[in-house]
Chain A
Amino acid sequence: MACQAENNIPINEESAFRENRAIEWIRIERYWTDSEDFAESSPQYLPMTCQHCGNAPCEPVCPVYATYHTPDGLNAQIYNRCIGTRYCGNNCPWNVRYFNYHDPKFEDTFTNHLNPDVTVRSRGIMEKCSMCVQRIRRGVREARYDGRELQDGDIMPACAQTCPTNAIIFGDLNNPDSQVSQMVASDRNYELFGELGTAPGLTYLAKVDVDAEEHSEEEEHAAVPQSPVIWMTVNG
């Protein structure tokens, strides 16, 4: 919900889910542990959002540079350049790029609640998690106005802000004292589809990562809070 409200994501109707066309920049994928007995099996949750790959498969295939890499490591989507070839969506192993099959719908007063910092996307273009780029830019700007260094915790995407169990943590990996840097150093850290070499996580080239710990949790069934670590570098 936080993400939907923050990023002006159109309201998904039931039919959108039936047709597999719902737009959810972050979605919680649900899997079940292998077990013969249904009562024994337990759900595993995998928050899935754009991996902001350092070497993203979606970027080179776009003919019009509608998706590109920002200097601070974000995988950005330029809506007004996008023509909707949908090649990027095909080439994304995580299926986290969403296509606007219809014009966005905001009922009655919902239009009054739209976030003025975020574009409302029209029909026929791709969209995806922007890592709340508007918040990042604001954080950098405010730190610069105050004449101070950007602190860990100054910037927080909507999903991290609302998660009650702090399962999503966002921060600067270049700062060794930041919470993410310390969590990434844990040996429970891993990359989803890391073998593809898209550098979603741990290599120093990559600057943004999601999900560092839930897999280890799946393996260990440990009672630790599920902590996808989101970290990034801001060269502001």
Chain B
Amino acid sequence: MQERVIMSDQEINNELLRSVFEHPLRFWVGAGVLGIFAAMWLISLSWLIYWGVGVTGLNRPVYWGFLITNFVFWVGISHAGTMISSILRLTQAEWRRPVVRAAEVMTVFSLGTAALFPLIHTGRPWRAVYWVFPYDFMRDVFPNVRSPLIWDPSAIFTYLTGSALFVYTALIPDLAVIRDRSTGLRRTIYGALALGWTGNTRQWKLQGIAGVLISALILPVFVSVHSIVSWDFAVSIVPIWHATVFAPYFVVGAVHSGVSAVLTLMAGMRWFFKWEKFIRPEHFDAVGRLLIVIATVWLYFFFLDFVFAIAAEETRELAVMERRVFEWPYWFLLVEIIILGYLIPVGMWLKRSVRRNIKLMFWSSLLVNVAMWSERYWLIVPGIERKYELKFSWSFYNPQLVELGLVVGSFGIVVFLLLMFSKLFPPIVLWEEKEGQRFAANVKIGQAVVPAIVKEE
């Protein structure tokens, strides 16, 4: 950690609260551009709901398309937050510090966005309430618990609640700092949010316990969410969807795309808020090394999917697999997924100089997510286009402009929400940074150099 800059607490506060207290031109430009994307999303959504699912390219039997692909993609992105913050917090990896909050907040926003997609994708979204919130007070009609679509909202909303709590617990001390630095209405609001935080020993102790507890409790949820999303497909009897490997495969794929998105976000934050002192090349280096492992595990599952299709000698599986490998546009997607999702980025990350080059890391992590989006499409659509051998009702899928608008717009709203968050709250955890400084500080006692703080277990 030779590049670490030793800063006082005051300096850290000043630097990191810049995003909250200053309004540079780039903030307004960024908010404007992202606002346009968010508006595009809203317009597409209104169009879809007003005219109905008929405006999409869906037909029979291709009942699911871009919107479900996008749902799976955003649920995948949301896995980064827990992966980074809870696992790294429990394993006490030092390099997590500047990344945790950004990753957690991204989890919350991308999960919220993801949860919208199955809803707006239904034929009558205004009636979907008794699906997602199965509390029926009048008719005693309860949802069908056998359906994976009931497991889905339960898993997603558990995860959403958990990660929102996670963000909030870590936010309380920082809210108190903002409270102490502001006046008037803002002071009142942040004061209420800070829940009377004064920073005494007992509060810090409770805060630490809460952090560890939520980290540990959210881990099983983290694994279950994408497993359950994968069961939307694996439980069905559509060839290719019906695969036992889907649950771990989806989870690893989610971590792959999610951690790459964190990398993108880190580079973006470093550039946008000029936080070179906090987000340093060594952090990119560490995430890059982690990603090499994750990407390789993902590739293993990717090929395992082929193996299961071939080893089972199920003719229907093989037929769809053949289409996915040899027919346009799926052969192109397959090549793209392997090259952009693995060969180029991992090839680059193997070199230490690349891992410490922020520009290259930014672009390579974007490539991964392009590939991962295509991968979800490649998994979902071909199976239902050529479902079973009664080819009279075979069909194809032509995505329409509305669907494209919703997909592109969803990227806009997630980043827009992230920017808004950084306006209201510091996106890097103040106390984590200060704690990191304490750990880094050494004290000379006689001949020996020892850390200034020994962490209590």
Binding site for B on A (CB under 8 A): 19-21, 27, 29-31, 46, 48, 57, 60-65, 81-87, 89-95, 97-103, 123-126, 193, 196
Is B58 close to A, CB under 8 A? yes
Number of chain B residues whose Cβ lies closer than 8 Å to a Cβ of chain A: 41
Q: B147, A125: Cβ atoms under 8 Å?
A: no
Complex Cα distance, B54 from A125, in Å, reads 12
A117: shortest Cβ distance to chain B, in Å? 24
Cβ-defined contact, A21 with B150, below 8 A: no
Complex partner residue of A29 from B128, B143, B236, B393, CB under 8 angstroms: B393
Q: Which residues of A contact B395 (CB under 8 A)?
A: 20
Chain A at the B interface: SS class: loop
How long is the Cα–Cα vector from A42 to B61 in the complex, in angstroms? 27
User: Which 4 pairs between the two chains have the least Cβ-Cβ distance?
Assistant: A84-B123, A124-B123, A86-B63, A29-B392
Contact pick for B123, options A63, A93, A100, CB 8 Å: A100
The interface bits of chain B over 28-65 (1 if a CB of A lies within 8 angstroms of the residue's CB, else 0) are: 00000000000000000000000011100011111110
Interface residues of B (CB under 8 A from A): 52-54, 58-64, 118, 121-125, 127-128, 130-131, 141-144, 146-150, 232, 235-238, 384, 387-388, 390, 392-393, 395
Within the complex, the shortest CB–CB distance from B201 to chain A, in Å, comes to 49
Residues of B within 8 A of A61 (CB): 146-149, 235-236
Q: How many angstroms from the CA of A81 to the CA of B59 in the assembled complex?
A: 22
Please determine whether A123 and B150 come into contact, CB atoms closer than 8 angstroms.
no
How far apart are the CA atoms of A95 and B237 in the complex, in Å? 12
Contacts of A90 in B (CB 8 A): 61, 63-64, 236, 238, 384, 387
Q: A93-B388, A124-B52 are in contact. Are A20 and B149 (CB under 8 A)?
A: no
With A63-B150, A95-B390, A123-B123: A89-B63 Cβ-Cβ less than 8 Å: yes
Q: Are B64 and A102 in contact (CB under 8 A)?
A: no
User: Looking across the interface, which residue of chain B has its beta carbon closest to that of A89?
Assistant: B63
Which B residues are CB-close (under 8 A) to A64? 130-131, 141, 143-144
CA distance in complex: A103, B384 (Å) = 25
> What B residues does A21 contact at CB under 8 A?
54, 59-60
Residues from chain B with a CB closer than 8 A to the CB of A19 are 59
**What distance in Å separates the Cβ of B108 from its nearest Cβ neighbour in chain A?**
24
Instruction: Please name the residue on chain A nearest to B239 by beta carbon.
Output: A93
Q: List 18 A-B contacts (CB under 8 A).
A: A21-B59, A46-B390, A57-B236, A60-B147, A61-B147, A62-B147, A63-B147, A63-B149, A65-B143, A83-B124, A89-B61, A91-B237, A91-B238, A95-B387, A97-B60, A100-B123, A101-B52, A101-B53
A101–B58 touching, CB < 8 Å: yes
Inter-chain contact A83/B59, CB cutoff 8 Å: no
What residues of B have a CB within 8 angstroms of the CB of A193 in the complex?
A: 388
Neighbouring A residues of B149 by C-beta, 8 Å: 61-63, 85, 87
Contact between chains at B141 and A99 (CB < 8 Å): no
Alpha-carbon separation in the docked complex, A65 to B146 (Å): 10
Q: Which of A83, A84, A124 has the most CB of B within 10 A?
A: A83
> When the two chains form their complex, are residues B59 and A20 in contact, meaning their CB atoms are under 8 A apart?
yes
Min distance, Cβ B57 to any Cβ of chain A, angstroms: 8
Q: A57-B237, A60-B144 are in contact. Are A98 and B123 (CB under 8 A)?
A: no
Q: CA separation between A101 and B118, bound complex, in Å?
A: 16
B143 and A63 within 8 A (CB) = yes
CB of B54 within 8 A of CB of A102, answer yes
The reply to whether B52 and A93 form a contact with Cβ atoms under 8 Å apart is no
Whether the Cβ atoms of A91 and B236 lie closer than 8 Å is yes
Chain B residue with Cβ nearest A102 = B54
- Cross-chain contact B53 with A84 (CB below 8 angstroms): yes
A91 to B64, CA, bound (A): 11
Q: Taking CB as reference atom, which chain A residue is nearest B388? A: A93
Residue of A nearest to B125 (CB): A83
